[in-house]
A and B are shown apart, each in its own frame.
Chain A
């Protein structure tokens, strides 16, 4: 079975722009979570979705938003990009929202 997939792999944006990151969960998984990993740090929780509803939100500004589609794939949107948004964005999927999370390879976002 295919694992969690994310696109794009790398992305370069300038300050003030908008970005959309995409994630496809493992087949059969209904929950998707998003994390931000700044260089040299552990992942920080951004959002969790289960059955297309938001089930959790980390301490991130309203510039960050997400949604989950009927096929359980998900998008993470970030508006008005700042230099500090440069990071590896990780998506994780799980069967249900309390189950073990399996991570994708991440999207490396660079904001110039």
Chain B
């Protein structure tokens, strides 16, 4: 079955520290990968996407993610977080049958 697993439901981190949010997905022939951020009482905003090409993808707000096909992972990273990065982050995978699956989300809390 096609599934997306976000390995950490909550990640607390201090301001200016680095952070990594982990995402694994069930393997398929080809996938497109996405990270979205959701602020309280809002919809989802696209952070970055991997469609093809370089496995290191840079997105908005200083975030980047690396696609690892052998490990079926797409972890999100930021070298130095800000208080304003506090939000829910969702990893999403579009499988080759156009089925779009989301992970359960990771709550990132940045503390001063």
Give residues in A with beta carbon < 8 Å to B: 4, 33, 35, 40-45, 48, 55-56, 90, 92, 97-98, 100-106, 108
How far does the alpha carbon of A44 sit from the alpha carbon of B2 in the complex, in Å? 13
Pick from B43, B45, B98, B103: contact of A98, CB below 8 A. B98
Number of inter-chain CB pairs below 8 Å: 48
User: Which residues of chain B are within 8 angstroms of A56 by Cβ–Cβ distance?
Assistant: 98-99
Chain B count of residues within 8 A CB distance of the other chain: 21
The answer to whether A45 and B43 have CB atoms under 8 Å apart is no
Which of the residues B100, B101, B104 comes within 8 Å of A41, measured between beta carbons? B104
B42 touches A45 (CB 8 A): no
Q: Contacts A100-B34, A100-B49, A103-B36 known; A44 to B102 CB distance under 8 Å? A: yes
Give the chain B neighbours of A44 by CB distance below 8 A: 102
B44 touches A103 (CB 8 A): yes
Assembled-state Cα–Cα distance A33/B92 (Å): 14
* Contacts known (A48-B98, A97-B98); A90 close to B43, Cβ less than 8 A: yes
- B residues sitting closer than 8 Å to A (CB atoms) are 4, 34, 36, 41-46, 49, 90, 92, 94, 98-105
Contact of B105 among A33, A42, A106 (CB under 8 A): A42
B90 in contact with A43 (CB, 8 Å): yes
A104 to B41 alpha-carbon distance, docked (Å):
11
> A45 to B99, Cβ gap below 8 A?
yes
What are the residues of chain B within 8 A of A48 when measuring CB–CB? 98
Q: Which residues of B contact A33 (CB under 8 A)?
A: 100
Known: A100-B49, A103-B36. A42 touches B102 (CB 8 A): yes
Please give, as numbers and ranges, the residues of chain B lying within 8 Å of A45 by CB-CB distance: 99-101
